[in-house]
């Protein structure tokens, strides 16, 4: 499967930059989620890779093929990019059976395909199966009901799934009637003998054309398959339909119409239809959003399995951070058209690149505490939090704060200089949707109206992020608080604790019963607190927060 590369990809409509200078490498066989709030540019990014939207500038490569290059004037159409789509409104054709829905696209394919002897391939498959006639008999007998009646349709499906064969081959196999004979072994031997002869004839015919068969019974000359432009044969279509039906487990519904299926089953048919032409990359735009919560959860795990089974690269758009966290090998988090972080889900969660990422990922949301202070000679930071409480932040790995700020300031200056340089170009269009610093939220009991005033911030202004699971309620905790609200769900309890005017959210494992107003003692546990600069919103370090 190919790697997908985006270089300086921008899409703007007039002054509105939907995607701004995006650089991204989607590794081979990855499951990427494009995540971000509504309107941030996820769908536009997906559509540009797929070829459904033309970027304003930049370059996109899929595998070895440059599919878009604004400077070289390359723009390969979507149907030539070997990609599959699965959208929110996946509408199946209501007047077609499940089988027809899946096979329809395949029957329209007309392209350069190898010359293949399907009869020889079928004979070889049957010879292989007939080596163990007792297994065939057992598989068919599993489809006999309590009254002793054989469900032929079920038996076909069982044989198809068990031996990965087409319906035509399954029917031939059933036609041998091994299950009705007292001596299945002898019949199998004699049938296999006839098939061997057929195979021999096919080989001679192939050799007469100066060719040999490869393992798929494709004609090969000088080691390369002989190809021609043609449509798929019904046998090939059937094998593809059965393969995808097996993957999404809908083999038994092939003759039903969409209206006779549940929402989840319909969804699986839609997935099967997308998978049938074997796309190397599969694009999905919120494909589960029409399903109810339970089904969505079920389908999520199916998609994860599907990713493994197909070995395709998946690119998945969602605004649901839970979905992104649970499905992806890597999350690409976008805000206002700008990439914020591209990392494995747990890294995005525990090492968020900035305040926006920290806030967007995680439910219940991370707690933000404002802090003021400076680095001490031992590397720790002496901070003042809440209304004057003293605390020490100890980074997990050493950080030289003065150097860190110098570097961040230099990066900002370089970016501004690059923007000023770009603005000199006559063709440059100034970005209308400006990137603003994310305004984090500090939870308080009495929240004052936010007038949007920007405080003057310096290198001594910080924000500490504390995930709810690191707030610990323990008898000898150094902080005093009061239970403001408590919501037990059975497995865990979400509590809001009041410290002076401030509110912190914690998650306690188990159904603990707290009284509203109950006094408790608190601590910040472990070394996974995150320290951000208030000035630029960026992550400085992970570490522990000790209150004295």
Ligand X SMILES: Nc1ncnc2c1ncn2[C@@H]1O[C@H](COP(=O)(O)OP(=O)(O)OP(=O)(O)O)[C@@H](O)[C@H]1O
- Report the interface residues with ligand X, using CB under 6 A: 13, 16, 18, 36, 38-44, 319
* Minimum CB–partner distance for residue 368 and ligand X (Å): 24
**Which residue lies nearest ligand X, judged by its C-beta?**
43
* Minimum CB–partner distance for residue 262 and ligand X (Å): 26
* Minimum CB–partner distance for residue 47 and ligand X (Å): 7
Which of 15, 177 has the CB closer to ligand X? 15
Cβ-based neighbours of 219, under 8 Å, separated by 6 or more: 114, 115, 116, 117, 206, 209, 211, 212, 213, 225, 226
Which of 39, 63 has the CB closer to ligand X? 39
* Minimum CB–partner distance for residue 275 and ligand X (Å): 23
CA distances from 331 to 271, 289, 323, 339, 543 (A): 22, 18, 10, 11, 23
* Other C-beta atoms lying within 10 Å of the C-beta of residue 283: 25
Which of 38, 259 has the CB closer to ligand X? 38
In 3D, which of 396, 543, 524, 548 has the Cα closest to residue 462?
Answer: 543
Q: Please give the angle made by the CA atoms of 262, 264 and 265, to the nearest 5 degrees.
A: 65
Q: Please give the angle made by the CA atoms of 518, 520 and 521, to the nearest 5 degrees.
A: 170
116 three-class SS = strand
Which of 201, 289 has the CB closer to ligand X? 289
Rg (CA), the chain: 31
Report the C-alpha dihedral over residues 297, 303, 309, 311, rounded to 10 degrees: -150
* Minimum CB–partner distance for residue 282 and ligand X (Å): 17
Give dist(CA 320, CA 45) in Å, integer. Answer: 17
Which of 54, 474 has the CB closer to ligand X? 54
* Minimum CB–partner distance for residue 286 and ligand X (Å): 7
Which of 44, 240 has the CB closer to ligand X? 44
Which of 140, 338 has the CB closer to ligand X? 338
Helix H or strand E segment including 74: strand 74-75
* Minimum CB–partner distance for residue 42 and ligand X (Å): 4
* Minimum CB–partner distance for residue 50 and ligand X (Å): 12
Which of 16, 93 has the CB closer to ligand X? 16
Which of 38, 71 has the CB closer to ligand X? 38
Give dist(CA 535, CA 428) in Å, integer. Answer: 29
The string of DSSP codes covering 292-347 is -HHHHHHHHHHHHHHHHHH--EEEEEES-HHHHHHH-SEEEEEETTEEEEEE-HHH
* Minimum CB–partner distance for residue 89 and ligand X (Å): 13
CA distances from 438 to 277, 435, 455 (A): 43, 9, 14
3-state secondary structure 459-517: CCEEEEEECHHHEEECCCCCEEEEEEEEEECCCEEEEEEEECCEEEEEEEECCCCCCCC
* Minimum CB–partner distance for residue 40 and ligand X (Å): 4
Which of 18, 271 has the CB closer to ligand X? 18
Beta-bridge partner residues of 32: 315, 330
């Amino acid at each position: 499967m190919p790697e997908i590369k985006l270089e300086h990809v921008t899409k703007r409509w007039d002054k509105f930059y939907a995607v701004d200078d995006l650089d991204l490498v989607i590794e081979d066989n990855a499951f990427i989620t494009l995540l971000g709030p509504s309107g941030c540019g996820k769908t536009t990014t997906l559509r540009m890779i797929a070829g459904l939207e033309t970027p304003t500038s930049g370059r996109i490569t899929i595998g070895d093929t440059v599919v878009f290059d604004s400077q070289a004037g390359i723009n390969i159409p979507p149907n030539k990019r070997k990609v599959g789509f699965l959208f929110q409104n996946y509408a199946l054709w209501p007047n077609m059976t499940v089988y027809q829905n899946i096979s329809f696209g395949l029957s329209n394919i007309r392209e350069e395909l190898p010359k293949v002897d399907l009869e020889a391939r079928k004979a070889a498959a049957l010879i292989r199966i007939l080596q163990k006639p007792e297994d065939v008999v057992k598989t068919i007998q599993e489809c006999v009901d309590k009254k002793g009646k054989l469900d032929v349709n079920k038996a076909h499906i069982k044989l198809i799934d068990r031996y990965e064969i087409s319906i035509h081959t399954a029917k031939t196999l059933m036609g041998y009637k091994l299950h009705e004979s007292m001596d299945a072994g002898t019949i199998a031997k004699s049938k296999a003998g006839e098939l061997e002869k057929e195979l021999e004839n096919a080989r001679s015919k192939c050799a007469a054309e100066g060719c040999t068969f490869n393992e798929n019974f494709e004609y090969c000359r000088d080691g390369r398959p002989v190809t021609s432009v043609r449509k798929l044969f019904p046998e090939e279509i059937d094998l593809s339909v059965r393969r995808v039906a097996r993957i999404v487990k809908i083999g038994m519904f092939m003759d039903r119409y969409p209206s006779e299926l549940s929402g989840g089953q319909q969804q699986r048919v839609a997935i099967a239809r997308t998978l049938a032409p074997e796309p190397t990359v599969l694009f999905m735009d919120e494909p589960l959003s029409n399903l109810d919560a339970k089904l969505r959860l079920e389908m999520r795990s199916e998609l994860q399995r599907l990713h493994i089974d197909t070995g395709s690269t998946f690119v998945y758009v969602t605004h649901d951070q839970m979905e992104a966290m649970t499905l992806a090998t890597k999350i690409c988090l976008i805000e206002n058209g700008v990439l914020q972080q591209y990392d494995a889900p747990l890294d995005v969660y525990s090492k968020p690149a900035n305040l926006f990422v920290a806030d967007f990922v995680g439910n219940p949301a991370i707690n933000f505490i404002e802090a003021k202070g400076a680095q001490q000679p031992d590397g720790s930071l002496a901070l003042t939090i809440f209304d004057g409480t003293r605390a020490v932040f100890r980074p997990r790995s050493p950080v030289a704060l003065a150097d860190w700020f110098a570097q961040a300031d230099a990066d900002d200056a370089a970016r501004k200089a690059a923007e000023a340089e770009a603005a000199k170009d006559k063709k440059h269009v100034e970005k209308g949707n400006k990137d603003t610093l994310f305004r984090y939220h500090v939870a308080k009991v009495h929240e004052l109206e936010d007038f949007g005033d920007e405080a003057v911030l310096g290198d001594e202004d910080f924000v500490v992020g504390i995930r709810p699971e690191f707030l610990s309620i323990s008898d000898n905790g150094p902080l005093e608080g009061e239970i403001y609200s408590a919501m037990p769900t059975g497995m865990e309890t979400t509590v809001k604790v009041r410290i002076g005017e401030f509110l912190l959210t914690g998650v306690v494992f188990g159904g603990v019963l707290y009284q509203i107003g109950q006094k408790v003692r608190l601590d910040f546990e472990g070394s996974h607190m995150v320290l951000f600069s208030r000035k630029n919103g960026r992550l400085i370090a992970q570490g522990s927060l000790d209150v004295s």
